[in-house]
Chain A
Amino acid sequence: MAIDISDPSIDTLAPTESQIVEERNLETVEMTINMGPQHPSTHGVFRMVLALAGERVQQVEPFIGYLHRGAEKLGEAGDVEGYRKAVIWLDRTDYLSVWPNEHCYMLCLEKLAGLQVPERAEYIRVILSELGRINSHAMFYGAFGADAGATTPFMYAFALREELYSLFEAVGGQRMFPNYFRPGGLREDVPADFVARVGHVVDTGYRACDEFDRLLSGNEIFLARTQGIGVVSAERAIDLGLSGPVLRAAGMPLDVRRVEPYSLYDRFDFDVPVGTRGDCYERYLIRLQEIRQSLGIVEQAIRDLPAGPIMGNAPKALRPPKGDAYQRIENARGDFGVYIVSDGRSAAPYRVKYRSPCFVNLQGLNDMVVGAYVADAVLALGSIDIVLGEVDR
């Protein structure tokens, strides 16, 4: 159940309408402060240098690279079956929702090599990708609440995530980095109770969504802290290359699953939530709504899951023909892309590039933060929903 914030009976604290609070010209001092790379609110090893006048941000300069591991270069390593092995880096870029990235790499590789994937494998991939999206959005919910000062939502988010991680461990053998997708299909079939477990997870997910909404979405402190903060206009967002909930909150209904359908997404009935004002609150609402839509996709996929093989006719030592291919998908954070260049002979990619959405989305930080309070800077950063493994690779 969503909260209708235009309902006049919901009393949000609006300072401009109060009779007590007034703006006064106080003498302020200009200072430069450093946030990060160790900081509870920077969502990882991320550093911002803020130039402040009093509490208002005049300039922000982000510094990234603290989690740079050379994933793109390491994707070229591997003298045997390097194409299959490069997928471990896709796990470790967006480590919160692992599956969409694995999916993207496999789709790109299959596009380049002309591999066919059986239906059952593709359905399982879609189910796991959507569960990964839910996993990431639940993490966002917990962390965003913590950024705003509410510590309880974090526990509720992780209760849902624990269910998901147990399922991922049952399917892939490992909670966070399962390394389960293969060119042409999957490493092995899902366990026998997969359908029942996913059904149980979906039920838990719907209940959790209601809980998330009840906890935070109408909380007046939360509303005061997130409404009107971190606004980016749609034209500026397109120019910057923003994607995902950040772009959709600004009003552009671009979801790669709709605009450039990949895998089986044109078979499923789901909505793409779009905002109007582009502020943090709308990004939060969009992500919560996306959890519900993802649960709907998982339900439809589980209902239609066919029997059959889970691996196509991919050769074990895959050598795609010489050429390049780019595949993009809708990550939890936006438009994730993989660009593979193959020289036709090597066992590993000649070049593999990961276009990560939060790397590009972070360029919007300047627009969102300049002129706002420091506390709003924290929330604006949280609403972009960065994961440093993806930003830095």
Chain B
Amino acid sequence: MTQGASAGAAISLRQTLSSSKWLGQVCPRCGNIIAEGSQVVLCPKCYTPQHAQCWRDAGNACANDGTTARIIERPGRPGAAGAAGDTPAAPGTSDPGVAAPTSPAPRAPTPSMDTAAAAVDPAGAAQATRTATAGGTPGRPAPPRPVPGAAGAGRGAAGGTTRPAGGRPPAGPQEQEARGLRPKADVRRRLEGALGDLDPQFGVSVDEVTCTVPPEHIAEAARRAKLHQELRFDYLRCLSGVDYQAEGIEVVYHLFSTRLLHKCVLKARISGEGESLPSVTGVWAGANWHERETAEMFNIRFDGHPHLEPLLLEKDDQGRTVPGPILLKRFRLRPKEPPGIFGFPEEE
């Protein structure tokens, strides 16, 4: 690609997402609305968003004020993600105020960036200079924003569905086989054979099969995982808790078989803190301390554990842990985020 004239400034390619601030603004060079999935750049001086191709066509310069900068081209990179937590620009507040619109008509959102760049209105492209300001021209009706796939308000449906594709790589990590161990399909077949009547739901965690069972069945599932001759999961690698807030607290058991050399993940989800699920210390003695730690950090209980006392946290005179459980997500260390796919509670 051609490099910019100036040696100094360099700007990144940005992918337009449904959460991008510049979604729906008008590119000052071609006059088209910036749709989701298109690649844009932001001018380093006036921050006007414009299509990356329009930037290059203008000689690597901003169509607004002429600032030159070169685009950082990284081969194989899908494009920098938009800033987190963006709220979509409210219509009209940051409307650049199309000066001489020849085609302000909204276009249907096009998922591929090539289509967006190619759909340049030739008449609009002739309008090289615009008096677009951040404040917008009062009284000018705002062009309607193209509505992304999911209906307006949400970040996607509750329940953790993937976001609209919009030119990004597929959501979900790439799958691969575990090195040196049995392939996933084989492990899954064995798990289905052994745990089929316990209502398992299968998934994949990059290089291992995950099997989610209802919490009341987890002890039986663990027992079968260890003793069933096709599974022989005699080694508990790890036992963790994950707080999914409104969707419950999940206990994740990472298993390994020293005999058959394969691995898998068992998961069980309970509805929230204060709940309990059966302990697996009868199956793997090494689960003892793992469960103690998970119980104290997430404020859950493991029924049947021989000695469910706090392990890492301090206890007060009544035996309660001081401070309260710390790994629950509501004990926040991060700034406020809008309600998302996990149904984060509203911050006060």
Contacts and interface: CB of A to CB of B under 8 A. Distances in A.
B238 interface: yes
Interface string B201-228: 0000111100000000000000000000
B237 A363 contact: no
B335 interface: yes
B302 interface: no
A87 to B, nearest CB: 17
Given A114-B173, A322-B160, A323-B173, A355 B326 contact: no
A261 interface: yes
A107 to B, nearest CB: 11
B236 interface: yes
Contact of A326 (B169, B205, B290, B335): B205
B171 to A, nearest CB: 5
A260 B180 contact: yes
B114 interface: no
Given A238-B234, A238-B235, A254 B326 contact: no
Interface residues of A, number: 62
B310 to A, nearest CB: 8
A16 B243 CA distance: 56
A138 B178 CA distance: 32
A261 B181 CA distance: 9
A323 B237 contact: no
A189 B206 CA distance: 30
Interface stretch (B52-60, B62-70, B184-192, B281-289): B281-289
B289 A328 contact: no
A68 interface: yes
A104 to B, nearest CB: 12
B76 A313 contact: yes
Contacts of A341: 242
B341 interface: yes
B261 interface: yes
Interface residues of B, number: 61
B240 interface: yes
Contacts of B341: 322, 343-345
A26 interface: no
B75 interface: yes
Interface in A353-379: 353, 355, 359-360, 362-363
A79 B335 contact: yes
Contact of B286 (A313, A315, A316, A360): A360
Given A114-B173, A355-B237, A348 B334 contact: yes
A321 B171 contact: yes
Given A70-B326, A76-B333, A343-B341, A254 B258 contact: yes
B205 A323 contact: yes
Contacts of A350: 242
A359 B286 CA distance: 10
Contacts of B263: 260
Interface of A: 64-65, 68, 70, 72-74, 76-79, 82, 111-114, 236, 238-242, 252, 254, 258-262, 266, 313, 315-317, 319-326, 328, 335, 337, 339, 341, 343-348, 350-351, 353, 355, 359-360, 362-363, 392
29 contacts: A73-B326, A73-B333, A76-B333, A114-B174, A238-B235, A239-B285, A240-B284, A240-B286, A241-B236, A241-B284, A241-B285, A242-B286, A259-B180, A313-B75, A326-B254, A328-B237, A339-B240, A343-B340, A344-B341, A345-B340, A348-B334, A351-B240, A351-B243, A355-B237, A360-B290, A362-B289, A363-B286, A363-B288, A363-B289
6 closest A-B pairs by beta carbon, nearest first, are: A241-B286, A65-B312, A355-B238, A353-B240, A77-B333, A240-B286
Given A241-B237, A259-B261, A323-B206, 15 more contacts: A64-B312, A74-B333, A79-B335, A82-B334, A111-B206, A260-B180, A260-B181, A315-B80, A323-B173, A324-B252, A328-B237, A335-B237, A337-B254, A345-B340, A363-B285
